[in-house]
Amino acid sequence: MNPSQSNEIERLFRQMYPLLVEYAESSLKNFAQAEEAAQDAFRIACQCPEALLHSPNPEGWLIITLRNVISNIYRRQAGAQRYLQEQIASCPPEKVMSHNEELPEFLYQDLAHTEEFRLVKALVLDGKSYQELARDRNITVGTCRKRMERAKKFLREKIRN
């Protein structure tokens, strides 16, 4: 990215960021996730500045990018919820008393103390964003995403065995 592109993206950031966060929050109902989505839209803009700056409507380009980011967030959340439900459904009946009565900590007592379980639970059930999880653990968002990937794999293997 050259300096003129950087300056133009910075101008768009100052102009559009509050609007994008507000738009994302109205959809996601979570301010931290909304901020993360808006930042992700600008990360994408920085990766392909030519597409943004040669667009006839750069502001509209950013809004469309944000919509796609929000769709991806919903898709990831739905996948994580499906995964957790599948794992609960595959749990032996003697471990499950009632879907409404049992908390995941009781269903998976042997795993509830692990960091992997706490990480997946915070994302899926508590609705925390990757940014919040990363901040709580004093790590980068990228590191947090990788840990989440490993945590899901770890839990999948432990629950199947």
Q: How many CB atoms lie within 10 A of CB 148?
A: 20
pLDDT in tens, 91-147: 665 555 444 455 555 555 567 778 888 888 888 778 888 888 899 999 998 898 899
Q: How many CB atoms lie within 10 A of CB 31?
A: 13
Q: Give the residue, 92 or 10, on which the prediction is more confident.
A: 10
- What pLDDT score does 20 carry? 95
Q: Which of 131, 101, 120 is nearest to 158 (CA)?
A: 120
Alpha helices in the chain (DSSP H): 3-28, 31-47, 49-53, 58-89, 104-107, 115-124, 130-137, 141-160
DSSP classification of residue 5: H
Out of 61-65, 124-128, 157-161, give the one with best mean pLDDT: 61-65
pLDDT in tens, 71-81: 998 888 888 88
- What pLDDT score does 151 carry? 87
